[in-house]
Chain A
């Protein structure tokens, strides 16, 4: 009897000690909170805070602590510097964030050396995940979301098209993806103009499109002031009245729609997350966001990436405990499949890139609010660039 009690006591002591060793798991996020891309940082933070408010900060007794770093106006060298600081001084166990492609590329070497599992929350150039085996992407790639749009256009009676894309790498990616798939489907391109990022008056470009008599115009510009000026000019110059269809990507996310005014109604876009979808996961997500950030908050692709990225961190700690190697974490995360508010997601185990549905939607006005309404879903879309370029490094 005495012996049993002793063993019990010893077991209790050991168990108690294990309980007491609650650890803090640090997740460092590098994103812009100031400068022209500040909206990204804000949206990441709102959704990650909402996730923690809903699910609590503790996973199996271990606290998940998020450490934020503001890399400002797209400064890649700062991104690298923060990554080093977070890894060496803060001893984070996971990294995340990265709005622009150069921000992500700049940390590739650092995270490879330190075997730091790193979740990309936006940076959308296809090649990034090949730059380090510790990258995993929960956002999208441009070819992934634009390819379905090119195919859809060709299949749905649009015979001629024109593209206006901002003259930088993502713009080129988007233009290529649209043109290639539109032409493959039998469509004919009447023009492909590239617009310098500094341009803010789009009148001459819209005039060219109008003169070309194309049936559809595909635009790509950084979400924000440039894309808004572009769409307004499209309407103001009478391209909409002339029956030209406007096709876009992330430019017409719901968060931006009030800036356009009603001129944007009818715009067709393809993106991996539709804010108005009625999945139970999305309804819960939007409710959590409203609880955190107020009734006017509207989720966008940054919010959804933050939410799903945070979910991966929680799942990893739940499965592997508070201590894990980079290889373990990446192996675990890339095998995850899960019902996200955007729809079902999983990861390509070789490329560590997300596989998800892409939705083709149309801007409509419902109850006085401009929203995107899904009408076609392309299921399980992969990044086509990786398949087309199997050996690019």
Chain B
């Protein structure tokens, strides 16, 4: 029974990581742009959600609006900052996007203060429910549910729509996709916007586990990047598998052997990348 608890905890955490990172995975796979500012878009969404919730907007509505706001910011950034960047080398991507990250941190510190934001998870969600053998936090079950819905949604878009088919084609071979008349830049714009929107939404619903503060953009970046690296760049299924694996193994490790909890996760990542350098489920282009 204890194992079930650990599994639930781990999956809930993994789902948040998945919602936030999936956009990063797909955009990195599509355009090979190393976007270290991804956490900043997530953070922006979280801040918007908090501001709205404190003004009396219902929690779920403000989470959705947070996604919209982060998506809009992403769209704006794609047009103004990222587009000129595609042809540049990776070092320039890293420098520019980490710079964006610092700007976001400084701006939020200036406008919203440097202390972490108040909790916004509403009372109806932030309570214990009986799940048969014990009482368990409803909020975590909610996260698992939301994550599952999001994963299903993204899966349907990727696998069952023309847009998804084009996207997969472009990830596998961008040049070929262009040659057959797919507008890859437009695909990227849409994916980037969608990814940022998901990240903003994820940061908003996950704020109960990952508290929002200006340093959010960097604090969790390493986890988002692990999801991308372990899952395989550009792979939707890979990022889901990687996020859940990180959540469950990280949680189990900390529960069973807390004295090693810190590096068990990194050991796992190390091993996985040795075994599959391109990630768990890489798209065909990388295989």
- Chain A positions near chain B (C-beta within 8 angstroms): 34-36, 38-39, 42, 167, 193-196, 198-201, 203-205, 207-208, 211, 224-225, 228-229, 232-233, 236-238, 241, 255-256, 258-261, 263
Contacts and interface: CB of A to CB of B under 8 A. Distances in A.
Contacts of A232: 119, 208, 211
Given A201-B13, A228-B211, A259 B115 contact: yes
B210 A38 contact: no
Contacts of B254: 195, 199, 204-205
Given A208-B258, A232-B119, A256-B116, 4 more contacts: A38-B109, A194-B258, A199-B254, A261-B119
What band does the interface of chain B fall in when counting residues whose beta carbon is under 8 Å from A?
35 or more
A199 B208 contact: no
A224 B213 contact: yes
Contacts of A198: 222, 262
B207 to A, nearest CB: 10
Contact of A207 (B13, B211, B255): B255
Contact of B128 (A42, A194, A203, A241): A241
A174 to B, nearest CB: 17
25 contacts: A36-B215, A36-B218, A195-B258, A196-B262, A199-B261, A199-B262, A200-B210, A203-B9, A203-B12, A203-B13, A204-B254, A204-B258, A204-B261, A207-B6, A225-B211, A225-B219, A228-B211, A229-B209, A236-B126, A236-B137, A237-B137, A238-B137, A241-B128, A256-B116, A260-B119
Contacts of B209: 200-201, 203, 229, 233
Given A34-B106, A236-B137, A259-B117, A200 B258 contact: no
Given A34-B109, A241-B128, A39 B258 contact: no
B255 A208 contact: yes
B5 interface: yes
Max chain B Cβ within 10 angstroms of own Cβ: one of A193, A225, A233 = A225
Given A200-B219, A229-B209, A258 B250 contact: no
Nearest to A229: B211
A91 to B, nearest CB: 30
Interface in B113-171: 113-119, 126, 128, 135, 137, 139-140
Interface string B245-275: 0000011101100110111000000000000
Contacts of A39: 113-115
A263 B119 CA distance: 10
B266 to A, nearest CB: 9
A329 to B, nearest CB: 32
B261 A229 contact: no
